[in-house]
Structure 1
């Protein structure tokens, strides 16, 4: 496992390590469950080892991720979470004159600043709404072929050419994304091939090292057993001498 300052990467050896069997997975899970149950009471959640530092999730979560987590967590089981408010639609809604604050009866610098801020926000919303409606009106006019007093005799040809040009740019963007996707897939294939070649090149050596390591561990155990046997024999001889 190699770590960086911001994330962790787990390296596996799928072309060297054999696939775990169902029996080995069951044994491993049983050992993990036994360790978890022995380190905590049945009424509490399994606790980690005291020397293991607590997991710090705050540095991995941005403000947007925290808000999304709160939105999803606020819904009860079996119900959908409240809709995501990613786009402020109030800017496209008409400003109600009744909602505007009246001019302060006792003007002071603070009340005037608040009044001007409210008017500025209302004007910005009105401008966004007017621009949105004007753009929609222009696009709808391109859909209506024929001569009219506003767009002139070129409206029929302009509507067709405008939409053809829009489709052309959309197709060009789609083609660019498809080429980028194909190149990314080829890069993934190249990485997998290089990974397989690298693991195949050292696979036999790693298997030999693993076999030697297991043999060394076995010899260490045999030596420890022999030492324990000799110590017991020495204790027996000392008791016989006494």
Structure 2
């Protein structure tokens, strides 16, 4: 938003949970959106997730690397068309590692954009190399699409066998992101406004905190992005072994 009365800045919402506004530049948001549109095409494309109780999630989802279904992971879309899950690209893992470095320290030098020039395919990272072994090897992406009426109930990301931080990138419409506690779906929680380009990372003592999206503000996406609705790109480390 132009001419902020109080400019947004890095905020630690809870120990290990960090919000970095405007982390992706407008150009890199466009590149990530283009990639999401490719991933959403069948086979193994955007689907409606059905819960074990017979309900459906109001957001729609596509997965990379490993296919998530309630409540586990598989190499194929076991609750959809059965196709092999799309591969997780190296550049997206690099983006996740840079996000963790920027959120928790040792990342992009002051004054540099967090994204720069490219390994093939998407918005690559700059600010110097990420040292091997210092940040997680991301291998899962869950991409959720929210239209104006979509919501996400309070839940924990607990199906992985790794406690590595979760990286969340927002594109399109602004949402209310509710970040809670590890004990219950209720209070205490903090509501955070996530806009297009924002980064949210949570790990450590907040890794298993409940969180959700109670509201999407329709029509708030940057017009130049060309997206109606909201996309959330969530990166995780599975801790799983292929094969």
Q: TM-score range by the shorter chain?
A: under 0.3
Q: As a proportion of its length, which structure holds more helix?
A: 1
Q: Which fold has the larger relative contact order, with Cα–Cα distance below 8 Å and residues 6 or more apart in sequence?
A: 2
Higher strand share: 2
User: TM (normalized to structure 1)?
Assistant: 0.17
Q: Based on CA coordinates, which of the two structures has the bigger radius of gyration?
A: 1
